[in-house]
Amino acid sequence: MDLDQLAALRTPEGTDALAAATEVAGGDPLAAAARLRSAGFSAGLAAAALTQAELRRRAGGKFGPEVGAMFLTRAGLEQATRRVVADRRAARLRAAGVRTLADLGCGLGADALAAARAGIRVHGVEADPVTAAMAAANAEAAGLAELFTVECGDATAFDVTRVEAVFCDPARRAAGTGRRIFDPNAYSPPWDFVTGLAERVPRTVVKVAPGLDHALIPAGAEAEWVSVDGDLVEAALWCGALAEIPRRATLLREKQGALTGASGGAGIPCHQLTGAGDTDAPVGPVRRFLYDPDPAVVRAHLLAELAAELDATLADPTIAYLYSDTPTRPPYARCLEITDVLPFSLKRLRALLRERRVGRVEILKRGSALEPEKLRRDLKLAGDTAASLVLTRVAGAPTVLICRPVTA
Ligand SMILES: C[S@@+](CC[C@H](N)C(=O)[O-])C[C@H]1O[C@@H](n2cnc3c(N)ncnc32)[C@H](O)[C@@H]1O
């Protein structure tokens, strides 16, 4: 997509082409193109409209209902923040008193739009001209063009004294190939600029990959890991006056009604576990209940805090499963009841599952090199009951735990 194609899509004829493309998106692409061509749209407009309709369809719930009016690029969509995460960040910034914000590398504007919805005046800087034009169009479509302005330019040249706070979500995919970048020094804007922001602006937030090496967390910053419906989606560094506690795990839900007893989150329902993140959880024997912690808790190094909350222990100092004598259904971990503890032996496990008539298993693993799908085939299951198998290590020894979910 280039700027001319975007401009064409924003004319009344382009709006009609987009509406027609939305009806046929997701089906056979050749038939869809033929349908738009037979409705009188030029080949170029039909192709641009179909690409947009397909990207909007693929975006699914990522942006909420507004996606139907948004302009997207494939790279921008892949890198954009999910709406629930962006809304929570924006609510926290607003609650911290931020009224003006620069979004340095704003992409399609998912974070900036959330900040504007929260009442913050946002100025986005975006290096890619088409992405910048789309972000501006997205602000207009959302009725937020007064609060969210966009400039096409280099974020590293932006005068940060113009705003009270800055947000930066550096590109972590290689331009052209779209491959993920794992080395922060290859981010764009570069990592030294990003971390330097925290030294120049009293209130800085940086979105980073959830696999971020803890050694790269700037001194004094709060590092937060965020999961949505149990999937780890990002980490954020809250710097300067925005840092509240060294480590935080924030658990969000997109599926309605899935979050009970939620707290925190500056008005956006979420569960939060916080702490110093520098303590080891105690180690003990395998106990009756196993807890599989949410990945945000594990990545935030908050296992000791969770163990204290659950009165639980590890069975191996290097493996993030917790064990306790009592079941609870905390939001931070899934709870399973352990029925059997076996040193790992395929023969023994197969015999036991046969005896119990187990025909279906879910396989969880931490600290095991076994491939779950290969194990499933090798087990040659037969029967009408189900079990959860946990492949792990106990005090260093390969172990399998046979479990069942805790229901009530
Ligand atoms: C990860 S994306 C931002 C996504 C955005 N937070 C969202 O949720 O929609 C990073 C963006 O930064 C832009 N970018 C990279 N280097 C830049 C620079 N030096 N100046 C301005 N923009 C830059 C990229 O073009 C890309 O669109």
State whether 306 and 176 are in the same domain.
no
State whether 197 and 247 are in the same domain.
yes
Q: And the tokens for 138?
A: 């997205």
In order along its 408 residues, the chain shows pLDDT tens digits of 899 999 999 999 999 999 999 999 888 989 999 999 999 999 999 999 999 999 999 998 899 888 999 999 999 999 999 999 999 999 999 999 999 999 999 999 999 999 999 999 999 999 999 999 999 999 999 999 999 999 999 999 999 999 999 999 999 877 777 778 778 888 999 999 999 999 999 999 999 999 999 999 999 999 999 999 999 999 999 999 999 999 999 999 987 455 555 555 556 788 999 999 999 999 999 999 999 999 999 999 999 999 999 999 999 999 999 999 999 877 889 999 999 999 999 999 999 999 999 999 999 999 999 999 999 999 999 999 999 999 999 999 999 999 998 876
State whether 175 and 94 are in the same domain.
yes
Domain count, the chain: 3
pLDDT for residue 61: 83
Kindly state the DSSP code that residue 332 receives in the 8-state scheme.
T
State whether 46 and 81 are in the same domain.
no
Note whether 201 and 166 are within 8 A (CB): yes
Q: Which residue has 């971020």 as its token pair?
A: 212
Q: Choose among 336, 280, 331: nearest CA to 307.
A: 280
Which of 239, 274, 309 represents a domain boundary (last residue)?
274
Atom of ligand 1 nearest to the CA of 193: 19
235 within a domain of the structure (yes/no): yes
282 within a domain of the structure (yes/no): no
pLDDT for residue 58: 93
- CATH number for the domain that contains residue 170: 3.40.50.150
State whether 145 and 251 are in the same domain.
yes
State whether 387 and 303 are in the same domain.
yes
State whether 92 and 133 are in the same domain.
yes
Note whether 111 and 89 are within 8 A (CB): yes
Which amino acid appears at position 327 of this protein?
P
pLDDT for residue 408: 61
Domain that holds residue 34: 3-60
State whether 260 and 137 are in the same domain.
yes
How many angstroms does the Cα of residue 105 sit away from the middle of ligand 1? 3
How many angstroms does the Cα of residue 80 sit away from the middle of ligand 1? 9
Please name the residue whose Cα sits nearest to atom 3 of ligand 1: 107
State whether 260 and 302 are in the same domain.
no
pTM: 0.92
398 within a domain of the structure (yes/no): yes
State whether 244 and 309 are in the same domain.
no
- Ligand 1: lining residues by beta carbon, under 6 Å: 79-81, 105-111, 125-128, 131, 154-156, 169, 171, 188-189
pLDDT for residue 258: 52
Which amino acid appears at position 266 of this protein?
A
Q: Taking the chain, what is the end-to-end CA distance rounded to the nearest angstrom?
A: 52
β-strands 203-208, 165-168 pairing: parallel
390 within a domain of the structure (yes/no): yes
20 within a domain of the structure (yes/no): yes
State whether 294 and 397 are in the same domain.
yes
Note whether 200 and 185 are within 8 A (CB): no
Please name the residue whose Cα sits nearest to atom 12 of ligand 1: 105
Which of 250, 274, 298 represents a domain boundary (last residue)?
274
237 within a domain of the structure (yes/no): yes
Atom of ligand 1 nearest to the CA of 170: 10
Pocket test for ligand 1, best of 125, 169, 172 (most atoms within 8 A of CB): 169
| C-beta pairs of 345-351 under 8 Å, 24+ apart in sequence | 346/375, 346/378, 346/379, 349/379, 349/389, 349/400, 350/378, 350/379, 350/380
pLDDT for residue 259: 53
pLDDT for residue 27: 87
67 within a domain of the structure (yes/no): no
Q: Choose among 110, 140, 133, 145: nearest CA to 8.
A: 133
State whether 267 and 350 are in the same domain.
no
Pocket test for ligand 1, best of 62, 67, 158, 188 (most atoms within 8 A of CB): 188
225 within a domain of the structure (yes/no): yes
